[in-house]
Structure 1
Amino acid sequence: MSKCTGQINGRRISERIEELASISEPSDGVTRISFTKEFQAGQELVKKWMIESGMTVRIDNLNNMIGRYEGLNPIAPVLIIGSHLDTVIDGGRYDGVLGVISAIEIVTVLYENATRLEHPIEVIAFSDEEGVRFHTTFLGSKAVAGTFSEAMLELKDDAGISLAGVLQELGLQPHHYQTAAKRPKDVLGYLELHIEQGPTLETEALPCGIVSGIAGASRYSFKITGFAGHAGTVPVPLRQDALLGASELILEIERLTKQNAPIVATVGKLKVMPGACNVIPGEVVGTLDIRDTDTHRKNDVISSIFNAADEICERRNLTFHAELMLESAPTPCDDSIKAAIESAILANGIKPISLVSGAGHDAMEMANITKIGIIFVRCKKGISHNPEEFTSDKDMEIGAKVLLDTVIQLTVHDMN
């Protein structure tokens, strides 16, 4: 497709990721929390690589770093490629970072080949995707997408320091956050390359795949109430055991999700009360997280789960109550960008596979202003947010080749 594609350097991607991973708080994995000195040091290193790749670099008022590689037509809409540099606590070295470094790699190849595309390219290293410090995700991409609000500046970290205060300490003007926003007419599209954070690509023996969309999520808290009693004196048929009711419900949730794949549901937290070894559980409080790209299917399964809960509790003389804690809509990827990614995957001799992202990404916010596309790269055992997170040099190189081929297609065949 382009003479540039054969010059992607997987070893260079890997070495840069390793160098960036060394910039971390002391931890078992990588801990580089937004707006800390470690984050700022990592940002400076990435800035150097951007400049070496022929980009001009600026920092916006939410501390996003933007490297721009000018196009033949500098006033043409810009193609944005992005991901994040922050990590969770004791995280891995590839989550987010692979997307930023791969984007720099493709610009490096274009620059080394003295190649300019019709449209400018901007590589954005978003300042805060994980939301660890201020307990709110996507702060950086919200600013670029124009969905950031003034109230978010008053968010406080665990030390009581506000987001506005942190940004001011960095020499930024947080109350001018609007200047970070892109106008939809100025953006051609948004691409993100990311490790899969799941086992599908490894199971299918494929190095990369096409993301069809990001699942919407519904999150509930629930409570099942029975009656606590003596573990040695109340006959089993007469018990109102809340934990047995919760156990039956959890198995029914598993059955319903298997029946309605690829929907996923997780009961991730349970609190059993009174929590004594010699007392029948009188109350169970838990959480239900359910995700799907098909809102109608998700709602149907939620309805089935709650109907099952009512039936189980009526039969066991228990009560059930649930409250919605979070609701996010699914984010579909653009058909034209998916087609370009598929073409690039085929050009690299790989079988195309479509995947749903159950995890959130900065692309969710960017979808508010432009068309989005996501490329997943295989990661070992699907492990992520963990020091054991791993992606091979070969897979990273293939992923970057696919990214470059996709970029060339999108800038040659204007999507607008």
Structure 2
Amino acid sequence: MTAAPQPVADRIGSTWQEMADLHDPDLPGWSRVAFTEPDTAGRHWIADRMRTAGMDARIDAVGNVIGVLPGTAPSAPAIVTGSHTDTVPGGGRFDGVVGVLGAIEMVEAFREAGVRLRHELRVVDFANEEGNPQGVMLVGSRAISGHLTPQHLAATDAEGTSLADVIARAGLRPEEIDTCRWDAGEVAAFVELHIEQGPVLEQQGASLGIVTRIAGIENFVVDVLGRRDHAGTTPMNARNDALCAAAGTILAVERLAASGADSVGTVGSLTTSPEATNVVSEMARVTGEFRSPHAERLAELRDRLAAATAEQDAAWGTESTVRWGQVDDPTPMDDVVSEHLLDAARDVGHEAVRIYSGAGHDTVQMAHLCPTGMIFVPSAGGRSHCPEEWTDLSAVVDGAGVLAQAILRLDERL
């Protein structure tokens, strides 16, 4: 097996710092929220870095940055790698960024060593992986897989602003989403390098993980209708308090998710009307999600949440409606690609462990097009989606080295 050229640690560190500097100074951490000015600046910076590394680069209609390195066999389908550089508000410097900058460094190392691939190589910085107030995650990879729909673009936030409006305000062209779609036949495989975003690798003393499957995610909204009354004169036993019923639902989400292995549940927001202490709440809204690697577990959680809200309604005399929003099914990684990743890790001196991903990734959408695999590097303390997110430079270099070796393996054997 041909040995891949080694990534240059100093160059990775330098480009990572330049990327980190492109953040929103008005938000905590290292924020580059999708379709904002810092995100747009970051995407143009990534395109320039791709060109410097020797790729042709373009930005498509929804903001995906796509770098292309031609192969020696023009008829061979492309091998694709990449991740994202947008962040949650108050996010860190590594989530997604490691996979984009690691891939660019790999191409730079290939160019310097004179390595030519048989397959075309595409490196992608996917747009808006993290989601938005409109409730749509994985926007860029959805567009590439052909699963970004007009309904997604028409989705609105609390102020009535549609996702299409947000994309257009960033100088992009949501009306041209069809031009973003790739055909399945043009892609041979996709590999994503990413930080773990959890504590497992660090706890096991492992330097690398190869992902077995990615959790399914189901978003929900529970709307609770109670009765508006005077808070000072209505006895406690005569109230139909929507906020109290909603509070019981929130506790039920935690209880239900904790009742089985490999599932989590999170409530992200609670709103109530009216917002006054002298009025019993008439309406409340709970927004959250469940995650599990097992579709049957997600189905069970759906049924049990419906039963839990009915119990709260019976206790408080309220009426609750549960609506399920975006659903991403659990996504297993391809066995053949994953074996190549494990072998690539061994080739460069690492015994990687198999690991499940509780976080969603662009790989979920790329799995609609081709066989997929993921490489994880450790997250210090398991921290992510926060300013304290950290992965040692040596771990990033290790991950980029395994990615390079994996790409050579796939290029030779697919």
The DSSP-based 3-state class of the residue aligned with 1:93 is coil
- Deviations 1:24-57, CA, capped at 9 Å, x for gaps: 2323322334444433432333233222322222
**In structure 2, distance between residues paired with 1:286 and 1:405:** 46
Match of 1:381? 381
Match of 1:23? 22
Match of 1:99? 99
**In structure 1, distance between residues paired with 2:231 and 2:129:** 48
The Cα shift of 1:184 comes to: 0.9
**In structure 2, distance between residues paired with 1:159 and 1:323:** 21
The DSSP-based 3-state class of the residue aligned with 2:384 is coil
Flag the 1:318–1:168 CA change in 2: closer, same or farther, 3 A: closer
**In structure 2, distance between residues paired with 1:283 and 1:133:** 21
CA contact (8 A) 2:312 2:318 kept: no
AA in 2 matched with 1:64 = N
Flag the 1:354–1:250 CA change in 2: closer, same or farther, 3 A: farther
- Name the stretch that deviates more: 26-35 or 270-279: 270-279
AA in 2 matched with 1:386 = C
Match of 2:3? 3
AA in 2 matched with 1:46 = I
Flag the 1:354–1:312 CA change in 2: closer, same or farther, 3 A: farther
Flag the 1:13–1:29 CA change in 2: closer, same or farther, 3 A: same
Flag the 1:247–1:174 CA change in 2: closer, same or farther, 3 A: closer
**In structure 2, distance between residues paired with 1:173 and 1:229:** 50
The Cα shift of 1:295 comes to: 0.9
Match of 1:332? 332
**In structure 1, distance between residues paired with 2:277 and 2:33:** 40
1:133-282 to structure 2, matched below 5 A, reads 136-149=136-149, 163=164, 170=171, 175-222=175-222, 253-270=253-270
Match of 1:127? 127
**In structure 1, distance between residues paired with 2:248 and 2:221:** 17
- Name the stretch that deviates more: 113-122 or 255-264: 255-264
- Deviations 1:176-214, CA, capped at 9 Å, x for gaps: 443332111110011111222222222323233122222
Flag the 1:266–1:153 CA change in 2: closer, same or farther, 3 A: closer
Flag the 1:230–1:178 CA change in 2: closer, same or farther, 3 A: closer
AA in 1 matched with 2:336 = S
**In structure 1, distance between residues paired with 2:282 and 2:150:** 44
The DSSP-based 3-state class of the residue aligned with 1:385 is coil
RMSD across aligned C-alpha pairs, in angstroms?
Answer: 3.8
The DSSP-based 3-state class of the residue aligned with 2:368 is coil
The Cα shift of 1:169 comes to: 7.9
- Name the stretch that deviates more: 185-194 or 89-98: 89-98
The Cα shift of 1:79 comes to: 0.5
**In structure 2, distance between residues paired with 1:278 and 1:353:** 56
- Deviations 1:323-347, CA, capped at 9 Å, x for gaps: 1231412222222222222223344
**In structure 1, distance between residues paired with 2:163 and 2:225:** 40
The TM-score, its normalising length taken from structure 1, stands at 0.82
- Name the stretch that deviates more: 267-276 or 90-99: 267-276
Match of 1:55? 55
AA in 2 matched with 1:137 = M
Percent identical:
34
The Cα shift of 1:141 comes to: 2.0
- Name the stretch that deviates more: 123-132 or 157-166: 157-166
- Deviations 1:339-377, CA, capped at 9 Å, x for gaps: 222223344444433333333222222222222222222
**In structure 1, distance between residues paired with 2:127 and 2:242:** 44
The DSSP-based 3-state class of the residue aligned with 1:49 is helix
AA in 1 matched with 2:337 = I
- Deviations 1:40-89, CA, capped at 9 Å, x for gaps: 43233323322232222233333322211222212210001121232333
**In structure 1, distance between residues paired with 2:61 and 2:236:** 65
The Cα shift of 1:123 comes to: 0.5
AA in 1 matched with 2:396 = M
The TM-score, its normalising length taken from structure 2, stands at 0.82
Match of 1:293? 293
The Cα shift of 1:244 comes to: 7.5
**In structure 1, distance between residues paired with 2:181 and 2:34:** 20
Q: Unaligned stretches of 5+ in structure 2?
A: none
**In structure 2, distance between residues paired with 1:263 and 1:41:** 37
CA contact (8 A) 1:220 1:322 kept: no
- Name the stretch that deviates more: 292-301 or 138-147: 138-147
Match of 1:13? 12
Q: Unaligned stretches of 5+ in structure 1?
A: none
- Deviations 1:122-143, CA, capped at 9 Å, x for gaps: 1012233234487643332233
